[in-house]
Amino acid sequence: MVKLAEWRGKELFRKYGIPLPRGHVARSADEAEAAVRSGAVPLPCVVKAQVLAGGRGKGGAVRFANTIEEVRESATAILALEFKGERVKELLLEEKLPIAKELYLSLALDRGARVPVLITSAQGGVEIESVDDASIDRQPVDPFPGLAAYEKRRAARMLGLTGAARAALDRLLDAVWTLYNREDAELVEINPLAIVGDGLVALDAKVIIEDDAAFRHPEYAEIRDDRTPLEEIAREKEIAFVQLDGNIGVIANGAGLTMATLDVLKEFGGRPGVFLDLGGTDDPKKVTEAFLLMAQARPRAVFLNIFGGVTKCDTVAKGLVEAMAQVPAGERFPLVARIRGNNEKEGVEILRHAGITSIPTLRESAQAAVAAAGGAP
Ligand code: GDP
Ligand code: MN
């Protein structure tokens, strides 16, 4: 999922002709001041933290400034914020427009219905989750013909727009629809969509690009960063490692066996946490490295499920025993193993020497792993 910061969303809005306040991005109080002095942003203006979390308005991350001094003050204050765990590194400065009313509008993929849904509400400016259901209209849209005239009419009625504002809404809806499709978005949200004079202006922008289409968008490669610190280390070491929120660590090889192992643990009431896929490695050092990374995630128990092919059982066993010895005493955890396939005998023997029994069947070994992690909840 590629969540775009407001200013990036607004760059897309500009590209598709969605009306915006005049604005400028700044990364320091000096840059903020310069943006106003140069006339790129007229006073009075709005200074907004560019963080991905919502609720900035209520949380002091959106401020208004009437003078250059206030711009500096607001910029400095917001840049010092850690907003919902995220350091503020960028600001968006925008002209402050006279708002007659704040509306809500979004086009969002409904995975259940398998179509985009046009969502509108006359109660904009607050988080949509806090608006009562009766005040929200949801229209599923057939993706092939796109927005129909009657759907636009219904949106206009819902938002209470007539005359010039109604025409502005029609243009805006076409732009949102085109952006959503051409940019592979799964969400385009404008909240608030402000009535200013007899026109409409997007005061906020939330755009999420669909993960499955991210490969078509190299422009977002640098911001596509939802890895945990351990996953980041793993990536550098070229280890396939994913952190979920369960408490059983899984080490398997091959995507198929790894996924199946997670499923089986779940089946027996376990909560798989970190998993790593040794893939086709046949280097005990690599196994050691991977295991130590797993240990840092502090699992309650680890389930090793290996089918020896290119990755031979004794290679894995060697690497593992080596790694176990390196885990500090206070951070040890029970290990349940099932290793089958190439060089199975040798592998099982190496494990036995280290006091680990390999359980040959999947059912029993998975159950043992769930029990070792404290049992099913
Ligand atoms: P969010 O709280 O993170 O969703 O941030 P928003 O971008 O939605 O801003 C919060 C609120 O600030 C909006 O609902 C508006 O009331 C106000 N706001 C934002 N931009 C402007 C602007 O250009 N003019 C005025 N008057 N208010 C604005
Ligand atoms: Mn908003």
Q: Does the structural domain 101-220 have CATH classification 3.90.1580.10? A: no
Whole-number percent of the chain with pLDDT over 70: 99
Q: How far apart are the CA of 174 and the centre of ligand 2, in A?
A: 21
Q: Give the pLDDT score at 225.
A: 64
Which of 4, 13, 203, 206 maximizes ligand 1 atoms within 8 Å of its Cβ, making it the mutation to test the pocket? 203
Question: Strands 272-277 and 248-252: what pairing?
Answer: parallel
The reply to whether domains 22-95 and 229-371 share a CATH topology is no
Q: Within 13 Å of residue 90, how many CA atoms lie on the same side as its CB?
A: 11
282-330 confidence digits (pLDDT tens): 788 888 988 998 998 889 999 999 998 888 899 999 999 999 899 888 8
pLDDT at residue 101 tops 80: yes
Nearest ligand for residue 23 CA: 1
Q: How far apart are CA 48 and CA 42, in angstroms?
A: 15
pLDDT per residue as tens digits for the range 249-265? 999 998 899 999 999 99
Question: Which of 204, 206, 207 best tests ligand 1's pocket when mutated (most atoms within 8 Å of CB)?
Answer: 204
- Whether the model clears a pTM of 0.75, i.e. scores above it, the answer is no
Burial class (CB in 10 A: 0-12, 13-18, 19+), 305: buried
* pLDDT computed for residue 11 by the predictor: 98
- What confidence score (pLDDT) does residue 377 get? 67
User: Domain residue spans in the chain?
Assistant: 22-95, 101-220, 229-371
> 203 CA to middle of ligand 1, Å?
6
> What are 64's strand-pairing partners?
46
> How many Å lie between the centroid of ligand 2 and the Cα of residue 287?
47
Fold of domain 229-371:
Rossmann fold (3.40.50)
Q: How far is the CA of 26 from the centre of ligand 2 (A)?
A: 19
> Annotated catalytic sites, by residue?
104, 189
Q: pLDDT by residue (tens digit) across 47-79?
A: 999 999 888 998 899 999 999 999 999 999 999
Percent of the chain residues topping a pLDDT of 90: 73
pLDDT (average), residues 222-248: 83
Contact 198, 164 (CB under 8 A): yes
Q: Which CATH superfamily is domain 22-95 in?
A: ATP-grasp fold, A domain (3.30.1490.20)
CA gap 376, 266 in Å, rounded? 9
Quote the pLDDT of residue 117. 98
Residue 112 CB burial class (10 angstroms; 0-12, 13-18, ≥19): exposed
Which one is predicted more confidently, 180 or 375? 180
What are the pocket residues of ligand 1 if the criterion is a CB atom closer than 6 Å to any ligand atom? 21, 46, 48, 54-57, 62, 94, 96-97, 99, 102, 125, 191-192, 203-204
In angstroms, the first-to-last Cα distance of the chain is 30
pLDDT in tens, 191-207: 999 999 999 999 999 99
Burial class (CB in 10 A: 0-12, 13-18, 19+), 322: middle
Across the chain, what does the average pLDDT equal?
93
146 confidence band (pLDDT: 50, 70, 90): very high
